[in-house]
Amino acid sequence: MKHLTIGLWLTFVSCHHDPPADAKTVKVTSADPTSEEYVAPELPKGRVLLMDAYGAMHAVEVEIATTRAARNRGLMWRRDLALGKGMLFVFPQQEEHGFWMRNTLIPLDLLFIDDGEKIVGIIPQATPRSLTNRSLGRPSRFVLEVPGGWSEKQGIIPGSKVQIQGASMLPVDPCP
């Protein structure tokens, strides 16, 4: 009986131990780009120059979303977005586009830009975590997301001209 007790104790000790401190933790990832666990690939970078109502230019450093997954993910789960930063959504053609704020934790301004690189409309301060579809009812080819309130503070208005840098040669996935 003594050997059986020692054997059971050794089995328990050998099977129930903490992993070494340097052991790597396996993180479960998701294939759903809207999931918090989704590990998104790094997006291409670019820049958008926007002319304000007074003729001054303002630069926004952007991540460029050209794939379905990147456009679906957008800025979901981000806890902040610095001034002068944003995301540019590129679509294969000019048409009406709608956006929601599901899993988006911060307010954003959505600037809709046409093929002629002119702002056709702005949706300011989109409410975080909302499923409301936000659309202008007019066609656009690009949508620029920036921190909520940024457009008004910079004097960016519909009709403002923009220059998009870094997106012209990127392949663009079709819309579903």
> Would you state the pLDDT for residue 143?
96
- CA-closest candidate to residue 157, choices 109, 106, 115: 109
* Count of the separate structural domains present in the chain: 1
Whether 128 contacts 94, CB under 8 Å: no
Which of the two residues, 16 and 137, has the higher pLDDT score? 137
- Answer whether residue 21 is part of any domain: no
Does residue 10 lie in a domain region?
no
Say what the pLDDT of residue 140 is. Answer: 97
* Structure tokens that stand for 135 in this block: 């659309």
Assigned domain for 16 exists: no
In a domain, 20, yes or no: no
Q: Confirm whether 17 is domain-assigned.
A: no
Q: Encode pLDDT of 127-143 as tens digits.
A: 998 988 999 999 999 99
> Does residue 133 lie in a domain region?
yes
92 vs 8: which has the higher pLDDT: 92
The predicted pLDDT at position 32 comes to 64
Average pLDDT over residues 12-20: 40
Which pLDDT belongs to residue 37?
67
- CATH number, domain with residue 67: 2.60.120.1140
Domain range enclosing 57: 44-165
Amino acid of residue 39: V
* Residue 61 within a domain: yes
Q: Is 63 inside any structural domain? A: yes
Whole-model pTM: value is 0.78
